[in-house]
Amino acid sequence: MHTIRYFLGRLCGAVPTLFAIITITFFLVRVAPGGPFDQEQTLPPEVVANLNAAYGLDQPVWIQYARYLRGLAHFDFGPSFRYKDFTVTELIAQGLPVSFTLGALAISLALVGGVAIGTFAALRHRRAADHVSMVIAAVGIAIPSFVLLPALGLFFGIYLHWLPVAGWDEGSVADLVLPVIALCLPPLAYISRLTRGSMLEVLGSPYIRTAMAKGLPLGTIVFRHALRPALVPVASYLAPAVAMVMTGSLVVETIAGLPGIGRYLVQGALNRDYTLVLGMVIVYSSLLIFMGLVADILIAILDPRVRLEA
């Protein structure tokens, strides 16, 4: 009951946050120089005026804002200014499955791999395996995804011819391998370091020393007694990890030629496609707010000392 009440309370609190993000983004994109119909070849003034009238851009900005909010109330993100034959809702429906698959695979691999490497390093504390794991983790943190992906493509795609460098063949797993690896390595490195530090602290706790003194197997101690409290910092990092994967996907999808919503956000910002940028920001913001809520609930589940009603 307390969990449901907490979830509903946080969900209601997320509405003003999302509303503030929509409002700030709506006016911010219009402050940027240029407009959605600016092209290399300047259009005649009468054509630009007709386009502005057709999309309602000739009206005062507060009227445009009220009309956009009215459309959002009916889950209508409006038409795209540059993709003439598509609405923003249709573009989101096309790109979201690709981005969701890419992000879900990356964050899942980062969680599983990071927890495994961090636990292994903690159990080999101050040994060669511990030092090697942390050096690799530091390298993973230092190299961003947009640098790592071309390097992986050069080695595995150009030199070895094992995997495609870019492109999208729907249903082909090979097209996702390099983007997923490039996206998952930075959060995997952070998670492995968090898990190692937390696991070392838990393994030094009195109740763990008591379990060791009783002669319990190491596997039982780790998986039944130490792993759950050691994952609390990892759960706290879940929302930032998702944010890292999402921001990395903006560039990774563009480099890899994947038809996800990250590419649409980049192109929409370059083309001053107001409605497209707003739609993508709403999708990303909603996901981040939801993952923050999931992280709080996971912390309460992993650590009984946390009381949701507080």
- pLDDT, tens digit (0-9, with 9 covering 90-100), for 151-179: 999 999 888 888 888 878 776 788 889 99
- In the chain, the N- to C-terminal Cα span, in Å, equals 14
* Burial label, 310 (beta-carbon count in 10 A; 0-12, 13-18, 19+): exposed
- At which residue do the structure tokens 């003003």 appear? 16
Spell out the CATH class of 96-302.
mainly alpha
pLDDT at 306: 59
Q: What is the pLDDT of residue 310?
A: 47
- Asked if residue 295 lies in contact with residue 238, where contact means CB atoms within 8 angstroms, the answer is yes
pTM of the model as a whole:
0.81
Nearest to 175 by CA among 183, 167, 187: 167
Low-confidence ranges of the chain (pLDDT < 50): 309-310
Listed by start position, the domains of the chain span 96-302
